[in-house]
Amino acid sequence: MRVLIAEHDHARYAALLRAAAPELEVLTSGDSAELARQAPQCPVWLGQPDLLASLLRQGHKPGWIQSTWAGITPLLADGLPRDYRLSRAVGIFGQVMAEYMLTYMLGHEREVLSRLVSQVERRWDDRPGRSLEGRKVLIVGVGDIGQRVAEFLQPFGVALYGVASSAREQAPFVEVAALADLPRLVGQVDYVLNLLPDTPATHDLYDAALFKCFQPSALFINAGRGVAVVDADLVEALKEGHLAGAVIDVCRQEPLPKQHPFWTAWGLLLTGHSSAPTSPTAMVRLFVENVRAYEAGQGLRGEVDFARGY
């Protein structure tokens, strides 16, 4: 079977895949014109959705696409075909995302940034550090990644709440509520961690009305999608003290334009879409597992329902 790799780091992916599954014929290139020449020869494509979407736009048709990203938004653009199987990266981001969340949650409790300011000012800062124990954490989006983040947070003694498309029982959460319950839940927790995918239902979810429901001591972390947040409303909410701070990993436009208010917003830290990079080794392991399932005509891990968008 021929596999086309469309990735910025295509050479590394090709080497790993050839070592893991030598029976596969791997075609790849860093040149977009060469990729377009190779695409018709390959029934299976592996790579990043933005590069793969440009091949679809040119009329090339795969049998199956394996995305190396958890998000697949570029492949859902209007006018692109949907008559192929699509799977997204799952099961490989849980730990690294949990480490990202914990970094900024612990940094918030221990007031790392303000202590750095104290040092610059040569001011002895002997405020006692706080703990995560007993804090209430809301994970908005309790799918594959959200579930793993919850499991990593559990040993810290936090109370875990979740939001999903519909309410359900799910360990280790005290409650998993529907999206409509978000205003109620944000008013009860110390941390709001957004991990929602990009779907029509998640656009502009975090607006002025919702930020007014937050506890003034709460920290908001967005590592889901930038379109979930109304940028101007977040800046204003921080200014007015509706929440204690925000850590923003994903933005509507990346890189963020130099004139954007996030650069200078009070209490807002930008982390440049660095929260959960794809590990090529883990990605190739998942892909090979899915290749076996694809060849056997079985379901794929992370298979996308085009109607839902994830």
The reply to whether 32 and 134 lie within a common domain is no
Query: For residue 308, is it within any domain?
Result: no
The reply to whether 109 and 175 lie within a common domain is yes
Give me 99's structure tokens.
Answer: 């480490």
The reply to whether 222 and 283 lie within a common domain is no
Alpha-carbon distance of 295 to 266, in angstroms, equals 53
Question: CA distances (Å), 256 to each of 141, 251, 275, in order?
Answer: 24, 7, 16
Please check the confidence at residue 87 and state whether its pLDDT lies above 90: yes
Structural domain for 6, as ranges:
2-91+278-296
Average pLDDT of span 116-135: 97
Please check the confidence at residue 67 and state whether its pLDDT lies above 90: yes
CATH number at residue 44: 3.40.50.720
Which residue intervals of the chain are DSSP H helices? Answer: 10-20, 32-38, 49-57, 94-109, 112-120, 144-153, 182-186, 208-211, 231-240, 280-295
The reply to whether 47 and 133 lie within a common domain is no
Average pLDDT of span 26-36: 97
Average pLDDT of span 217-235: 98
- pLDDT band of residue 61 (cuts 50, 70, 90) is very high
Query: For residue 108, is it within any domain?
Result: yes
**In this structure, are residues 250 and 273 in contact, taking their beta carbons and an 8 Å threshold?**
yes
The reply to whether 126 and 161 lie within a common domain is yes
The reply to whether 54 and 148 lie within a common domain is no
Please check the confidence at residue 281 and state whether its pLDDT lies above 90: yes
Query: For residue 242, is it within any domain?
Result: yes
Question: CA distances (Å), 65 to each of 33, 35, 54, 145, in order?
Answer: 19, 15, 13, 21
- pLDDT band of residue 309 (cuts 50, 70, 90) is confident
Q: What pLDDT, on the 0 to 100 scale, is given for residue 214?
A: 98
Q: What pLDDT, on the 0 to 100 scale, is given for residue 199?
A: 87
The reply to whether 286 and 140 lie within a common domain is no
Total structural domains in the chain? 2
Average pLDDT of span 31-47: 97
Alpha-carbon distance of 7 to 14, in angstroms, equals 10
